[in-house]
């Protein structure tokens, strides 16, 4: 499956970004993971169909209601075979 690495910057911690990303990933059939970074960002690795990945990235650009997304960086990665979408702590 195509895989992308996403880095989301802004007010994205403490606003249920990771939990909501899991809900959206499950909705779009995306596998991979999401975690907070020490710098205050959110990092995601996502695998899925191209159109589903695009919908997921579109959601990442907005985030949950309380988030204030300033920047989203997306990079293509080597294909991966995750079995589910996990929230990492």
Please spell the DSSP secondary structure of 19-88, one letter per residue: HHHHHHHHHHT-EEEEEE-TTS-EEEEEES-HHHHHHHHHHHHH-STT-EEEEEEEEEE-----SSEEE-
Tell me, what CATH number does 30's domain have? 3.30.70.100
Per-residue pLDDT at 81: 85
pLDDT single digits (tens) 30-69? 999 999 999 999 999 999 999 999 999 999 999 999 999 9
- Residue 36 inside a domain? The answer is yes
- Residue 52 inside a domain? The answer is yes
- Residue 55 inside a domain? The answer is yes
> How many structural domains comprise the chain?
1
- Residue 80 inside a domain? The answer is no
- Residue 49 inside a domain? The answer is yes
61 among known catalytic residues:
no
What domain range is 8 assigned to? 3-68
What average pLDDT does the chain have?
97
36 among known catalytic residues:
yes
- Residue 47 inside a domain? The answer is yes
- Residue 40 inside a domain? The answer is yes
- Residue 14 inside a domain? The answer is yes
Catalytic entry in 36, 55, 61, 89? 36
């Amino acid at each position: 499956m195509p895989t992308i690495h996403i880095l989301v910057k802004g007010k994205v911690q403490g606003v249920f970004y990771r939990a909501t990303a899991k809900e959206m990933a499950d909705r779009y059939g995306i596998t991979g993971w999401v975690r907070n970074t020490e710098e205050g960002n959110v990092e995601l690795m996502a695998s899925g169909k191209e159109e589903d990945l695009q919908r997921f990235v579109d959601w990442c650009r907005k985030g949950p209601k309380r988030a204030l997304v300033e920047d989203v960086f997306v990079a293509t990665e080597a294909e991966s075979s995750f079995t589910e979408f996990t929230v990492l702590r």
